[in-house]
Copies of this chain bind each other. A is one copy, B any other.
Amino acid sequence: MDSEAFVPLLRASLSQWKQRGKRAVWIKLPIELANLVEPAVKEGFKYHHAEPDYVMLVNWISKSTNSLPKNASHRVGISAFVMNDKREVLVVQEKSGKFKGTGVWKFPTGVVDEGEDISMAAIREVKEETGIDTEFVEILAFRQSHKSFFTKSDLLFVCMLRPRSFDIQKQDTEIEAAQWMPVEEYAEQAFMKRHDSFSSVAKVCLTKSEKEYAGFSPIPRTTASGKTTYLYFNTKDLTQV
């Protein structure tokens, strides 16, 4: 559609929607219709969000207070604590990012995909980076940080997983090296001791490895609107829900 045809149609529709008492009008423009972005903006639309292949615009046409849902504000990541029966943890060195070339051994870490459960993301990342099969146990801790990319924030969940296989096959494009390392040796790395966010996580994991620490376990629940979700809570202190 070209903008000469689009603008009169949009104006006529906006006028009708206002009369009918609509509060907001959404327009989702696929990237192929980038030519309609400017005309929509000129008719009063603002951006709401965008993904690689489309931009969503919205026009609040009501006189009432704008109550549009807010845009996504957080990226969610996982860091995976995987320990075998010999008290060795699964660690990697990354090929890029701020740890490149530092020699620091760290837990496998990754970003939760859109629509993915945190527990599934942890299992997937460990498999992708190291080839190790795992089952999810608990969330031991999490960290919220701000301005992680552009203006957005980050939630990083430290997940405990139980290994189901032990032969490492590392992923070559992102991972420089991967190994099983004694948990105390991991925690004793100079880098860990120097940074309190890392040393705190290491202490949580060490405590957990001695079985004295209760994290949050995922329990499937149904929401009021009928969706299946996971509720994470301390199931050691509360066994029946």
Question: Known contacts being A38-B38, A50-B55, is A152 close to B238, with CB within 8 Å?
Answer: no
- How far, in whole Å, are A59 and B56 apart by their CA atoms in the complex? 19
A67 touches which of B96, B214, B225 (Cβ 8 Å):
B96
CB-defined contacts of A238 to chain B, threshold 8 Å: 203-204, 207, 212-213
Query: What 0/1 readout, one digit per residue, does chain A (132-151) give for beta carbons within 8 Å of chain B?
Result: 00000000111111110111
A53 interface residue per 8 A CB criterion: yes
Q: A65: CB under 8 A from chain B?
A: yes
Q: How far is the CB of A77 from chain B (nearest CB, A)?
A: 10
Residue contact A50 to B47, C-beta cutoff 8 Å: yes
0/1 string, A59-76, CB within 8 A of B gives 1: 000000101011111111
Tell me the complex Cα distance, A241–B187, Å: 13
| Contact, CB under 8 Å: B214 / A197 | no
Q: How close is A237's CB to chain B, nearest CB, in angstroms? A: 4
Distance in Å from the Cβ of A158 to the closest Cβ of chain B?
Answer: 8
Task: List, in ascending order, chain B residues with CB within 8 A of A167's CB.
Answer: none
> In the complex, what residues of B have CB within 8 A of residue A111's CB?
70
Binds B, one of A4-12, A14-22, A84-92, A216-224: A216-224
A192 closest partner in B (C-beta):
B224
Name the interface size band of chain A. 35 or more
* In contact, A214 and B234 (Cβ under 8 angstroms): yes
CB-based contact A144/B47 at 8 Å: no
Additional 13 contacts, C-beta under 8 A, given A76-B155, A144-B229: A47-B51, A70-B111, A70-B114, A114-B151, A114-B153, A142-B232, A147-B227, A155-B155, A197-B224, A199-B241, A203-B238, A204-B238, A234-B234
20 A-B residue pairs with Cβ-Cβ distance under 8 Å, sorted by A, are: A46-B53, A49-B49, A50-B55, A65-B173, A67-B96, A70-B114, A72-B72, A72-B73, A73-B74, A73-B113, A141-B216, A142-B232, A195-B223, A195-B224, A196-B241, A197-B224, A203-B238, A203-B241, A214-B214, A216-B216
Interface positions of A (Cβ within 8 A of B): 31, 34-35, 37-38, 41-42, 46-56, 65, 67, 69-76, 96, 98, 111-115, 117-118, 140-147, 149-153, 155, 173, 191, 195-201, 203-204, 207, 212-216, 219, 221-225, 227, 229-234, 237-238, 240-241
